[in-house]
Structures are given as C-alpha cells and as structure tokens.
Amino acid sequence: MKHIKKFFSLIMCMFLLASMALGTFAATTDEPTNEAEEYLVFTPSVERIDSNGKFDFQFRIKVTSNKFYATSDTLRIDTRAMIYNLADESYKTDKSIQFRMTLYTSGGSKVGSYVGNADNIYGGKTFSVTSGKKYYIELTSLYDFAGTGKYIDGYGKVSPIKLS
C-alpha cells in the first residue's frame, strides 16, 4: 500500500510540474495579442511627471493620473491626440472620435472638464483652482473601442504644478 501511495504521489507531482511548464510557456509566447496596455505617464521622470507637467497617454476606456499640487489659482491643461491602431501600428486622425479630460480635487470632487478630439490639434482649457491644493486628471474615451485594437494616443501638459 505504501508503494502505491508513493507511486501516485510521484505521478501527481510529475503532472503538476508538466502543467506549470505548459502554463509558463503559454504565458511567455511571442505571438501578437492585439492588446496594448493603457497608460497615462507623466514624462520623463520616475515620479511620472516633470516639473513642466508634461505627460503621455494611451487608453481605450479611461485612465487617471497621479496627484499633483496647483501652484497658482488657475491650471491650464492641454492635450493632443490621435487614434493608434495596434494591428498595423499606424496613427490616424478622426475628428469624430472624442475623449473627455476631467480635473478633480484629490478628494474626488469634479472641478471641470473639456472634450477633445483625436484630430492631432493641441488645445485645452484653463480651470480655476486653489493654489497649494492637490488635484488629478482623468481621460475618458467617448467612443467604444472594445475589441477594435485601437486606442486614443497622445500627450499633454498641465501647468503650473508642483510634484507631491
């Protein structure tokens, strides 16, 4: 009986090891997945924002920034965006594709927003804020990109700010 238990234990261990190896192989394949990660990165510093408030973004649904301090009673936020197609790694403009840029207090209260287009035109809005208070921004697509392999891709600037 002892030998049978040892034999089955050995078989089970070999089965588990083989399953883990196949799972690792499947997870590390180099096949294209037609999926890009959504991101909003303040560039170029490790803190995700530079002293000028510049940032890059790519998203399908929604993306939120880290928090920053306003250093004036007004904040200017500008963005420029296009449509990125992951399948052929191309960019195109489409004025009908829109996104909303919303400014929030660190507590989540909406300060204001504007609607931008994926038309590769730089523009934005000035918001009245409280100097010294923390804020963050959120970009939300107004177009359903689910299953398309397409993203809103662009860059922007929020100023004047101070890093937290």
pTM score above 0.85 = no
Check residue 153 and give its pLDDT. Answer: 95
Check residue 68 and give its pLDDT. Answer: 93
Mean pLDDT of 96-120: 97
What is the C-alpha separation between 19 and 16, in angstroms, rounded? 5
Check residue 24 and give its pLDDT. Answer: 39
pLDDT tens-digit profile of 14-43? Answer: 555 555 444 433 333 333 344 445 555 554
Check residue 135 and give its pLDDT. Answer: 96
Check residue 21 and give its pLDDT. Answer: 45
For the beta carbon of residue 98, count every other beta carbon within 10 angstroms.
17
Angle at 34 between CA 57 and CA 120, to 5 degrees: 35
For strand 68-70 and strand 74-85, is the pairing parallel, antiparallel, or unpaired?
Answer: unpaired
Bridge partners of 70, per DSSP, are 161
CA 19 from centre of chain: 33
In this prediction, what percent of the chain has a pLDDT beyond 70?
Answer: 68
Q: What is the 8-class DSSP label of residue 25?
A: H
Residue 79 tokens, joined: 């963005």
Mean pLDDT of 92-96: 96
